[in-house]
Every structure is written in structure tokens, then in C-alpha cells.
A and B are shown apart, each in its own frame.
Chain A
Amino acid sequence: MNEDWCLGCHLCEYYCAFAATGEKDMARALKDVAISPRINIEEKGGVCFAVSCRHCAEPLCVKGCITGAFSVQNGVIQIDKNRCIGCYTCIVSCPYGAVTPSDNGVVQKCELCVKTKEGTPRCVAGCPNAAIVFEERGEE
């Protein structure tokens, strides 16, 4: 995420919510819907940027999960919603604030669209200014 390029347009949030619906038409899928995206824009004054899961190499959410619902699969941190009990230990553990409550009591986070139809991050494809990119990096 490069905040110099972020326009604060919130399109990534809409693409994220849209990807989760599995629908074909974005307008139809999200019309009159209060979206609950896994990527979120922080903005203040002239500064804005998008925050979503960093898929850390040493993930505190996975290590801390008390049920074992979090796991790393091929480098992607995923949640087994069936095993999440909604205790929010992950929310209290994530240094980026990238795990959030969902509408159904369990938590949600970016899973790089691996469970969606496209299979690749929709927010990246949809970002009009290439502020959000998808690339492998080592831990700094």
C-alpha cells in the first residue's frame, strides 16, 4: 500500500464487499447494502490509505487464536468461520487493526480473495491509481 497514490475513493472497500458476494453485477449486489469490507480506508486531513491484512510471516492472530480457526495456507492467513467463536483475541492481537468483527458474530479479514470466484485480490485490480499492489516481500 503506497499512501502517496491513495485517492481516498473507497473503491477498494466496495470491490472487497462485492468480491465477497459472489455476484456478477456490482451495482446490483451492493445497492442499498451497508458494506462490511475487509479492507478499510483510514483518512484524516489530506492523508488517506487503505489497511488490510499484511499476511505476516509471524502472525500474532494465528498464534493467538484460541480455537485454531486461524491458519496459514500457502502464505495466506485464513479463517475457518465454522470454528471461530467470536472471542476477538485476534482483534486484540493484530498490530494493524486488520481483523474486524463481521455481521454474523465471527471475525473477518482479507484472505486475498482466495475464496472468491476470481481468486485474486479484487481491491488491487479495482484500485484506480495503483496504490494497492499485491507482491511477495520478506519480513523487514
Chain B
Amino acid sequence: MPELGCKYLIVGNSGAGIGAVEGIRRVDKTGKILMVSDEPYHTYSRPLISYLLWGKTDESRMLYRKPDFYEKLAVEFLPGTKIVSVHPEKKEAMTEDGRKITFEKALLGTGSVPFVPPMQGLEKVKEKFSFMTLDQAKALDSRLAKDKKILIVGAGLIGLKCAEGILERVGQVTVVDLAPTILSSILDPEGAAIIQNRLEQKGISFRLSQSVAAFTAETATLQSGEKISFDLLVLAVGVRPQTGLAKEAGLTVERGIVINETMQTSHPDIYAAGDCTQSLDVSSGQPKIMALLPNAYMQGECAGVNMAGGADEFTNAIPLNAIGFFGLHVATAGTYAGEVYYAREDQTYKKLFYADNALKGFILIGDVAKAGIYTQLIREQTPLDTLDFGLICEKPCLMAFSRRERARQLGGA
């Protein structure tokens, strides 16, 4: 097998990897970039797989970058190739098919993998699916039919987007979750109830505070004793950072790969970005896994700039979600701690969380207009006493800022 040499090795072809390529090319227009993906596809947007099943997009429109991306940015792309080891000291990596890759700097953008807890009898279920990748979506797609009953284990973002995407194409969708409320990672109970209500109106049924005690090939017996029969099982309990390569390379890994504000790992030539990492959440001051596409891109881009010899820091990462269910929009950000501003009307729900003279987090349902103004207050930890606090609580607007700050924002003389 011939040896492959490059200046920059990028492992992974999603948000973090693409961000890294674009970051590198801001600084170094020609240094050889080799990008390796274990998937056989051009870069595509993972969150769109539910829209694909729903028929709201197609494979060509799912591309995260234009078809000529690799060519235009002079990237040598190896799809369908798995990296099995990385040696930081030797600056070498090995592929599954035995090729040696030499590099100067490497980025690990290995993402996350579904976490499936042990469940009794799970091995008896023939038709079971995860819902993270295009291949998994296609596998599920090929089995959907109007007369089928679907059981989804997990009422988080992945499970519920899957439920939304397949609902019109199947006979019945039931979602089971151990938590008492849905979307428990991003919503408080009151907000969760609003979304649950919407999903139930559309025909999705829930079994909450429940887990599956045992599976047979086509039934699940819940802790309550209830038996649910199904044709297809979707496992969406959660995800875990994919950190195997980093661990074996001797890099510091806690829950995710540990990176600093330049996205460097514990080895100076190896960077990491995206779902596989843990980094500081400025809204809570705690290290967190923020497995979100915008975050992955920005981390990747920062890593790329630094790998190419530039100087960049990404210091204001926060959890940030924009998601919709059947047209009902939800936006959440930051940490839900501190004092609360609360407003609820018929179709809208709003909670702002603030402490220490700064906005810490928000939950918005129904009306998410201009929510980025709130997001920026969290990212920057803008002192709230420099704003018209009453006005900014009522609605996100630039009017709440000082005239001087607004002149800066809007380029006024």
C-alpha cells in the first residue's frame, strides 16, 4: 500500500471537519489537506435525515457544502475510509485497509455515536435502527410502510425528529422515555408539555417515566407491565462522544476529548472539534459536551486557523438549539439557572434565566423572532445594567441597548 502524506489530516467529514478545512484555507491556501471519512458520502447535513424521510428535502439538497467543495478548496477526500489509529509522536495514522498516512497537524472530528444501554431481549429484535447517519436513515426509509407500527425508545431531539419525519408514512408511532417529560435535555417541564401536546395532537403517543423491561422480536414489555407491539424499533436513547481514536493515541479524554480555547488536545499537533469534544460552556462556567452542529463548525474553523499557523480562540461556546416540530418553533440556549422572567400566552412561551448581572439562558416556544439578540447577551455575558432590562425581557431588540452601543452595532457615525 502506498503511503499518503499531507500537511493537514482531517478525520471526519461533518461540521467540525468542514469548519477545519475552511479555517485552514483562511490562512494557508495551498498546504495539502487530506480528509478521511468512514462514510461513503460527500459532506451532508446530519440533522436533515428526518426531513429526508419526511420528503422535505432530498439527497442533493442535503449537501452541507456545494458539490465542488473539495475541488475548490484543494482537499484530497477519502470517503469510505476508516482511520483505526493515530500516533501523535510519529505523526502517522493508519487506515483500516492498511494505508499509512503521515501528517504535520491532525484534527479529530469523529462526532458521536448512539448510546444503547443493555436491554433484556434486545438481540431478539430483528428490525432495529439507530438514527444518526444517512445510511441509518436510508435503512429505516426502506422499511417504512403505512401499516407498520413504530416504537421509538428515547424522547430526545433525535427520537422526536425521527417521529416527526416518519409519522405520515407509518401506521402508528409510540415513544418511550425514562424521563417524566420529553426533550428533558433542553426543555423545562412546562415547555416540554407544550411540545408534547403538539406531538400528541399530530398522533404520536408517549409512554413517559417508563422503560422497556424486556423485548421479544416484535413486542416491548414496559416496567408498568404494558405490552407494546411493534414492527420497527428505533433506538434513540442518547449519544456518546466517539473518543476511541483519541484515547488510544494517549490524548486526555474525560467524557469527551479535552481541548483548550484553541481547540488543541493534550498533544500540540492534534486538534479536536465537534461532538467528540468537551469544552467550556460560558453560560455555566462548566466543561460540557455541546454536541451541536453550529458549535462543531465554529470549533473546527478555530482549530483549522490554528493548525495553519494563525491565532484564533473560540471562548464563548454555549448550548444552543433551534428546532421545530410540525411548524412549532423552539429556541433554547445557555443554562437554566438564576432568576426567571416568565411570559406565557396562547401560542407562545418564554423563560429567560439571569444571574450575576448577565443573561444565562432562555427557552422560547412559538415566537423565536430576533432570539439571536438574547443568544449574544449570553455569549458575551453582557452586563444587564447597561441595558433597558424591562424592554429586553419583553422582546429582544436593539432599542434596549445604549445609543452608543447601538451606533457601534449599526455603524452609525
Contact = CB atoms under 8 A, between A and B. Distances in A.
B406 A49 contact: yes
Contacts of B202: none
A130 to B, nearest CB: 11
Contacts of A44: 391, 399
A64 B301 CA distance: 11
Nearest to B43: A68
Nearest to A100: B369
A41 to B, nearest CB: 10
* Consensus secondary structure, chain A interface: loop
Interface in A38-61: 42-44, 47, 49, 51, 54, 60
B399 A97 contact: no
B294 interface: yes
Contacts, number: 127
B196 interface: no
Contact of A91 (B297, B322, B412): B322
B368 interface: yes
Contacts of B285: none
Interface stretch (A1-9, A14-22, A120-128): A1-9
B57 interface: yes
B114 interface: no
A88 B324 contact: yes
A11 to B, nearest CB: 18
A131 B160 CA distance: 47
Interface residues of B, number: 48
Contact of B375 (A82, A92, A140): A92
A132 B195 CA distance: 41
A83 B398 contact: no
Contacts of A2: 407, 412-413
B298 A63 contact: yes
Contacts of B412: 1-4, 49
Contacts of A42: 397-399
A97 B396 contact: yes
Interface stretch (B61-69, B172-180, B181-189, B219-227): B61-69
Given A3-B412, A97-B369, A49 B398 contact: yes
Contact of B369 (A49, A68, A85, A101): A101
A72 B177 CA distance: 42
Interface stretch (B45-53, B133-141, B340-348): B45-53
A123 B294 CA distance: 31
A64 B294 contact: yes
Interface string B57-77: 100011111100000000000
A47 B399 contact: yes
A95 B399 contact: no
Contact of B45 (A47, A68, A82, A93): A68
Interface of A: 1-4, 42-44, 47, 49, 51, 54, 60, 63-68, 82-83, 85-97, 99-101, 137, 140
